[in-house]
A and B are shown apart, each in its own frame.
Chain A
């Protein structure tokens, strides 16, 4: 039995995982990262548009600060997020951007003086301050009050991932590539590590660590068409779910991105619209202002995706062999802009569509894009149920996104969350000893070995690829952008049936090493359990909030549903998860639930909302007029951070006068 010991074990070598590994190693802890693929191939690299941080350098970002970023994030989440976490995040985002500049990210910089931009389909000239010259620039993104999204052309994720992985290489952090974690070693209270399989040799290994951090990204590939990389299959969430103890949070919160190309579902960045791109229907009509006169194309993602679907349902979509789609028009930005700031988009259009986006419209359709749900953690990133189990990034439900994530906040979450949670992981490793129970390790190992043996020598007859495709199609058809009771029921029933069938998978390829069919056979039942948490969670939540839109319950219902769905799978033979709910406490919120600013304000109010609003007014009145925004914030909702991350962020506006327009 091969056992590898370390202090800080990280599963997943994307931005979030690597950042945690760096934070551990910085404190002198032994650190090992496991990854399905070489670190630099991680899906983080696909994030194009940028990361939000309230630097406020550009003239269109002047007046921005943590408060505005926090408010945008909470509103974007449809009040489903954890406001403490959103605060921690907004406070540290500028630090992460500046840290990354020191690690090598060539952030796009501001050129002082006049510059032409496209705002609301019109060319506008903005004037950047002399003192801002050379500082980090930002572009506009949906659902934000200010231009806040820092970027490197449209390869921001790529630049960040390369810089962070280079840092990890510099620090000599080992990344064990082509290793798949398949189950957690735990005793019901404390997590001790993982059982993992080498995808090349087929060897099973136990990795034992003081802390185990899951940073495996989202579960987009439970859908047939997704912008996600094909490795984003939710196996990380299954690791936690299969403990029967740890919880997954808000799994039904799945985001659909408005502009993925048709039919392959590859993303074109929100930066296209942020920089001035428009959505058009089959008549070439720009339809978003008809639905959202204020925010238009730059409404929150969930809103734009729903409006696009609504518009296509009215017959305004462009017919294609792959079903209806709409047009994304970035021709008005001009060739130079497209070829410098939207290069990846251009390459994707050329290679996959054979069109030139500087002169042709791009066929797009809302497509599964992001998993707000994930492994439920508290504010320090640790599972409330299993000590020593941490999760970060898209894999987690740390919960700064609630029911809808703002564009630019995911890339930010990976590095900011990694920065914060990494410190808590290191704290945990310093405070705790390695607990080694070889009996427990052996039990976990044997169980895994049996699962593999069963597949290789068992008499199963089901084809794993068929089951996978059937699952993906169910998710597409019944757990999509708009959801309703009968369809969700159907999804749950059919997924349960598939889960049953998946216990009878038979393999054609019997190799123990390097066997792609075996890899699928191990993943698919895990994916099915994750898919069931999504479908069951969606079926149970009889309201509409953020990306979870129920046609039969169109109202946001704060009275009954201002809570977080928690799923567990205590009985491994069961066919569905157990759901419970964690209430969000309005009386502790800095920003009590209110109108998000889209469509009708039809929310059913929470009884505490008015009370909390009055309380906040009282607190502010007591502070008096000379209190600054930091004092006010601390009085309303104090939040904690690791000490080194507490200092305030310096801004250009601290040194030069802020030029009006909020």
Chain B
């Protein structure tokens, strides 16, 4: 007996056969994106704290800078500015890896973008909105972060006066004004998302609150130090002489 069952549900072929490289890469891509994200997120927290040492004093920033450049290992105690080059190059690599995997998440087609916007209009939802801002900031960082890192690779000089010169006289503050909120928002909510995504915490609301507090806090110290550099920069005369603690 043959049946003519008109809704013989067509078998959707196995999802894994959908031409995605080797299936192991699905897991790897997700892990790498989260791992690089974690690394970048924590790096940003450290980074912003280190450069905010300018808020304490020029001396404090000078010592932090020299310490990080490996001052204790150099005979002069001045460290190796080339280390900044290497760290910057390494971070650039991490950013590239992170961006490469994160790009999978971007709405690639206009229909996807429309679907996202219509979803957010019809059914407003906090976490989706947060992710949307991560998407926007991520897109911005795609351009801004490499510029900053390239700058640090080609011109690694760090110091209270040298940095202030960069910020004020070389007009890099314009980059930082965009970079700071983008990176803070992207990184803090990114860390939150990694935490809930892998079940590192089950206390989602607490984690979200922490992320928001961190955004505010990092923005405050970031803006404050940026303004400090601008103030220092204004007081410097060109050509700038590097700061030396008395």
Contact = CB atoms under 8 A, between A and B. Distances in A.
- Chains A and B in contact, CB within 8 Å: yes
Interface in B1-24: 1-9
A30 B8 contact: no
Interface in B214-242: none
A174 B4 contact: no
A291 interface: no
A126 interface: no
Nearest to A179: B7
Interface in A424-447: 434
Contact of A434 (B1, B6, B7, B8): B1
Contacts of B3: 4-7, 30, 32, 174
A174 B1 contact: no
A434 B8 CA distance: 21
A166 to B, nearest CB: 14
A176 interface: yes
B125 to A, nearest CB: 21
A4 B1 contact: no
A239 to B, nearest CB: 21
B5 A176 contact: yes
Nearest to B6: A4
A360 to B, nearest CB: 28
Nearest to A433: B1
A174 B9 contact: yes
B2 A176 contact: no
Interface in A165-179: 174, 176-177
B5 A7 contact: no
Interface string A18-32: 000000000001101
B9 A5 contact: no
B7 A5 contact: no
Nearest to B11: A172
A5 B1 contact: yes
A297 to B, nearest CB: 40
Contact of B4 (A5, A7, A29, A177): A5
B7 A4 contact: no
B87 to A, nearest CB: 53
Contact of B5 (A29, A174, A177, A434): A174
A208 to B, nearest CB: 10
Interface string B171-204: 0000000000000000000000000000000000
B155 to A, nearest CB: 63
Nearest to A33: B5
A415 to B, nearest CB: 24
Nearest to A2: B6
Contacts of A30: 1-3, 5
A431 to B, nearest CB: 14
B2 A174 contact: no
Contacts of B7: 174, 176-177
Interface in A127-179: 174, 176-177
B196 to A, nearest CB: 25
B43 to A, nearest CB: 44
A518 to B, nearest CB: 22
Contacts of A32: 3, 5
- Highest count of chain A CB atoms <10 Å: which of B1, B6, B7, B8: B1
Contacts of A4: 3-6
A179 to B, nearest CB: 10
A6 B4 CA distance: 8
Contacts of B4: 4-5
Interface string B46-57: 000000000000
Contact of B1 (A6, A176, A177): A6
Interface in A14-58: 29-30, 32
A7 B6 CA distance: 15
Contacts of A176: 5-7
A176 B2 CA distance: 17
A7 B1 contact: yes
B14 to A, nearest CB: 16
A5 B1 CA distance: 8
A177 B6 CA distance: 11
A646 to B, nearest CB: 29
Contacts of A174: 3, 5, 7-9
Contacts of A5: 1-4
A212 B3 CA distance: 15
A96 B233 CA distance: 83
Nearest to A30: B3
Nearest to B8: A174
Contacts of B8: 174
A5 B8 CA distance: 13
Nearest to A175: B7
Contacts of A177: 7
B8 to A, nearest CB: 6
A174 B4 CA distance: 11
A176 B6 CA distance: 8
A5 B7 CA distance: 13
A7 B4 CA distance: 11
Interface string A359-389: 0000000000000000000000000000000
B167 to A, nearest CB: 57
A587 B2 CA distance: 48
Contacts of A7: 1, 3
A4 B3 CA distance: 7
Nearest to A205: B6
Interface string A434-473: 1000000000000000000000000000000000000000
A29 B1 CA distance: 8
Contacts of A434: 1
Contacts of B6: 4, 176
A140 to B, nearest CB: 36
B3 to A, nearest CB: 4
Nearest to A176: B7
B92 to A, nearest CB: 51
A30 B9 CA distance: 15
Nearest to B3: A30
A361 to B, nearest CB: 33
A136 to B, nearest CB: 31
B93 to A, nearest CB: 48
A177 B5 CA distance: 12
A172 to B, nearest CB: 8
Contacts of A29: 1
Given A4-B3, A4-B4, A6-B3, 4 more contacts: A30-B3, A174-B9, A176-B7, A177-B7
27 contacts: A4-B3, A4-B4, A4-B5, A4-B6, A5-B1, A5-B2, A5-B3, A5-B4, A6-B3, A6-B5, A7-B1, A7-B3, A29-B1, A30-B1, A30-B2, A30-B3, A30-B5, A32-B3, A32-B5, A174-B3, A174-B5, A174-B7, A174-B8, A174-B9, A176-B7, A177-B7, A434-B1
Interface of B: 1-9
Which 4 residue pairs are nearest across A and B when measured between Cβ atoms? A30-B3, A174-B5, A30-B1, A6-B3
